Structure 1
Amino acid sequence: MPKIIALVPAAGVGSRFGAQAPKQYVSVLGQPVLFHTLNVLNQSAKIDQLAVVLAPEDEYFDQFQWPFFKMLKIRAGGESRAQTVINGITVLLNQGLMQPDDWVLVHDAARCCLNLPLLNQFIDTIKEHSVGGLLALPVADTLKQADQEQHVQQTISRNGLWQAQTPQMFRAELLLEALTEADLNTVTDEASAIEQMGLSALLVEGMLSNFKLTFSHDLPLVEAILTARKKG
């Protein structure tokens, strides 16, 4: 039976966040952001292995304790998220830790409020799909297209529009082929590489709480969500 390998690309520097350290190492409730991200993945009984892909020169990761029995550390991060995922899958395949038909579940290092029941539901849904898929949210707000001076040019219909989240899950061989052959300048997530192959990923509705920590002013919301989850 194919395994499910969670792969977390954690080689970014998080320049928009504005902290001295990469945002995945910023402290939230006494632990780095990355700890909370890995924790929910490690808790899922449906995930067989957890691989975190770091920049080769990462000097922060080993300063922390990571009590996750499923976790593998791979120092093979690339210059982009896509290249980091390519490198991580390649290492896992070359070392025999993954087979071509295994599922790769890619999740953002800074998306640390993923809900465990949602994660398990997502996995159950996607593993029955022929291509794979991603968590996403239907766009709820009115969309405006602006000019270079931030004046409204037109209103964009939100019908059929979704906001992509992670996890995104595809077969290892398929995802590696898609990313390797894609124009990485146009690839913003794994699903966009799959699209360039002419394949359609399945959209599974996610949650607003599963947002990506991007700016420092996002931290209070992250703390509130994680605190409420502990109390619940």
Structure 2
Amino acid sequence: MDDKKNIAIILAGGVGSRLGLDKPKQFLKVAGKTVLEHTVDVFQKHEKIDEIAIVMHGNYLDIAEQMVATNHWTKVKKILNGGSERYESSLSAIRAYEDMQKEIGNLQLIFHDSVRPLVSPKIITDVIEALNTYDAVDVAVPAVDTIITVNQEQHTIEDIPKRAKLNRGQTPQGFKYETIATAYEKAMQDKHFAVTDDCGIVLKYFPETPIYVVAGEERNAKLTYPEDIYLFDKLFQLKTTQLTESFNGSVLKDKVMVVFGGTSGIGADMVNLANQAGAHAYACSRRNHNVDIRDRSAVDKFLQDIYAKHKRIDYIVDSAAILNKEPLMHLDDATIDTIIGINYRGMVNISIAAYPYLQESKGCLLHFTSSSYTRGRSNYALYSSTKAAVVNFVQALAEEWEPEGIRVNCINPQRTKTPMRVQNFGIEPEGSLLQSETVAKEALKALEANITGEVIDIKLM
């Protein structure tokens, strides 16, 4: 049994001077939430994080307290007053946990910049796992640009270091409590102290401690300059995740699931796998039960019948879609209406009809997008645009319904062998496509995952 306690320290003491704004950059809104809210959410939802402390300027402590209540951040146990310098904020957290370390020991502090809201759960997991072997862990990505050192007076190049060893540091940075506390104790005795981050303090004042480096990600960027706001907004729109756990069908036992469009392809495989695992899974489509998702009354009636039988519905899935691989000008009005009706209006109808059942069960609504959502493609104008709409719809609805305890996500499978794809592309080389059962297993995992508003990537390994 692992008795280590992982404390996330969210460093939010910055005042945003480089942005030239009248409020700290962690309070800027991006993709519907403040940067700080996005950041804390990642740690709140991470299963290996036991507790969170937010460190910020004293003028904004009341705002943080309000955020904790509004967002139901149950893991946030401390809101600490930070200093004007980064090291003062880190030191504030170290001292705040001194008594807990004495009492229970085995504390691990995970320091993270509040203005890196796109940190992935994988990076956090990698840092925590590395602490099983090392006492200090950093996160970095290789430098892709040539780095030069410049003579500040003459504005000339002094040196061009070899790029092979150069990396750009990120956060989180993880430490065994005694390691970072000892390094800071020594640092505070140095009259010429000048270090920019916590790993730098360990490197300088506790040099016998190796600092392991975990691979970072380019999207784990830091909000620094005004133009970053627009970039971050786009990155959040395109943000995806991957599920790492193995498929465990036992969690589906006795769950009630409805799959619209579940009579072929991925939807049919989801129904079959769920029923094999002991769930009560039902498929419906225009061919099966005569449910046309363009007609909300038909959707309502089907869900009412299932609810009357089981007195609950835990999961509702929309796997229905139409793809016509043709130029827009080749499509007649009836075909256009059908594509938009099934791919978009049908999604809206299912979501509205699903709400009361999922509100009661605190369940999950799952839609499907496509890899073409990031950029429209020739001959896919309607399909790719409706799949882009799925992503925006899911992200918005997840935020609306999160206070109700409803999770809303979408699956983004790479090219998958389904009847719809064969109809449009014919026979393609073996091994170039995902199998629909593989996608179905990942989609079933997503139903139980403690995430919402996510685009879940499924790719060929």
Counterpart-to-counterpart distance in 1, 2:103 and 2:217: 30
Number of positions where the alignment pairs a residue of Structure 1 with one of Structure 2: 231
Q: Which residue of 1 aligns with 2:120?
A: 115
1:130 equivalent in alignment to 2:134: yes
Structure 1, unpaired ranges of 5+? none
CA deviation vs aligned residue, 1:158-185 (integer Å, no higher than 9, x gap)? 2322211100000112212212321484
Q: Which letter maps to 1:68?
A: W
CA RMSD for the aligned pairs? 2.1
| TM-score, length of structure 2 as denominator length | 0.47
User: Rg: which structure is higher?
Assistant: 2
1:61 equivalent in alignment to 2:64: yes
For residues 202-217 of structure 1, what are the structure 2 equivalents within 5 Å? Answer: 202-217=212-227
Q: 1:216 to 1:171 in 2, by over 3 A?
A: same
- Please say if residues 99 and 172 of structure 1, whose CA atoms lie closer than 8 Å, have aligned partners that are also in contact: no
Q: Secondary structure at the match of 2:236?
A: helix
For residues 171-210 of structure 1, what are the structure 2 equivalents within 5 Å? Answer: 171-182=176-187, 183=190, 185-196=193-204, 197-198=206-207, 199-210=209-220
Q: Which residue of 1 aligns with 2:166?
A: 161
Q: Which letter maps to 2:64?
A: F
Q: Which residue of 1 aligns with 2:17?
A: 15
Q: Secondary structure at the match of 1:159?
A: helix
- Please say if residues 138 and 171 of structure 2, whose CA atoms lie closer than 8 Å, have aligned partners that are also in contact: yes
Q: Which letter maps to 1:195?
A: L
Q: Secondary structure at the match of 1:107?
A: strand
CA deviation vs aligned residue, 1:172-225 (integer Å, no higher than 9, x gap)? 122122123214842211111111211220011110100111111101111111
Deviation at 1:66, TM superposition (A): 3.0
Alignment identity in percent? Answer: 28
Deviation at 1:38, TM superposition (A): 0.5
For residues 45-60 of structure 1, what are the structure 2 equivalents within 5 Å? Answer: 45-58=47-60, 60=63
Q: Secondary structure at the match of 2:53?
A: strand
1:225 equivalent in alignment to 2:229: no
Q: Secondary structure at the match of 1:216?
A: coil
Counterpart-to-counterpart distance in 1, 2:99 and 2:135: 23
Q: Which residue of 2 aligns with 1:6?
A: 8
- Please say if residues 136 and 179 of structure 2, whose CA atoms lie closer than 8 Å, have aligned partners that are also in contact: no
Q: 1:52 to 1:144 in 2, by over 3 A?
A: same
Counterpart-to-counterpart distance in 1, 2:102 and 2:25: 28
- Please say if residues 81 and 89 of structure 2, whose CA atoms lie closer than 8 Å, have aligned partners that are also in contact: yes
Q: Which residue of 2 aligns with 1:150?
A: 155
Q: RCO (CA 8 Å, sep 6+): is it higher in 1 or 2?
A: 1
Of 142-151 and 201-210, more deviation after overlay is shown by 142-151
Q: Which residue of 1 aligns with 2:99?
A: 94
Q: Secondary structure at the match of 1:143?
A: coil
Structure 2, unpaired ranges of 5+? 241-390, 392-454, 456-461
